[in-house]
Structure 1
Amino acid sequence: MLRRLAEQFEISSSVHVAANNIERDADWYLLKLQEEMGELTQAWNRLTGRGRAKGRSPEDMQRDLADETADVFGHLLLFARHNDLDLAAAIERKWRFQPQSR
């Protein structure tokens, strides 16, 4: 399941970087993940009243939080794929359960 998702994110990311003339070197994957974590933190701060609402409603801020979480998840999968990491095996080893495949 995770590998399939990673492939789908790779397809989407490849289209995006090609359209925007972005070079993805080895550092890009980690730097982009860090950038997305910053955006997730910003969305959390906004939602919890620690940042400017910028005219966003609570529903908008909740959706922003979900969207930024999706970005972090996608970039984490891209990072793992680029570095040939077996996340399913790591989850089993570290969290002691098997991710279910659908």
Structure 2
Amino acid sequence: MDLVELSERLEKLSGRYGEVLGFERDPDWFLLKLQEEVGELTQAYLQHTGRARSKGLSGEQIRDTFHQEFADVFCQLVLLARQHDVDLPREIERKWLAHES
């Protein structure tokens, strides 16, 4: 699956999420949701590295949550980029990959 296809699939899921919960996914929502997910990744990282309470979770559950939070952050970033017509592959090429060699 390429990033364009992923972006389309995520948009459908996210749109349905907004409809079911009854809120508008305006430009602010996309950025705020990304920030929320980064916060959750941070919390999971702290648990994963033993610097936060385990809240009764096993080591495996903590690791799994930590890994899944990366997906949440990535997907919300893709949705935010889509909302603002950012061509992520192009910008990655320009900002990162242009410095290869």
Fold match, TM over 0.5? yes
Structure 1's unaligned 5+ residue stretches are 98-102
Which is bigger in relative contact order (C-alpha 8 A, separation at least 6)?
1
Structure 1 equivalent of residue 81 of structure 2: 80
Is 1:25 matched up with 2:29?
Answer: no
Shift of 1:22: 1.5
Structure 2 equivalent of residue 10 of structure 1: 11
Structure 2 equivalent of residue 69 of structure 1: 70
Structure 2 equivalent of residue 58 of structure 1: 59
Question: What residue identity is the alignment partner of 2:10?
Answer: F
Question: What residue identity is the alignment partner of 1:37?
Answer: V
Shift of 1:39: 0.3
Structure 2's unaligned 5+ residue stretches are none
Aligned residues, how many?
A: 97
Provide the aligned C-alpha RMSD in A: 0.9
Poorly superposed stretches of 4+, deviation over 6 Å: none
TM-score (norm 2): 0.92
Shift of 1:4: 1.1
Structure 1 equivalent of residue 46 of structure 2: 45
- Following the alignment from structure 2 to structure 1, what is the Cα–Cα distance between the partners of residues 63 and 87? 31
TM-score (norm 1): 0.91
Shift of 1:15: 1.1
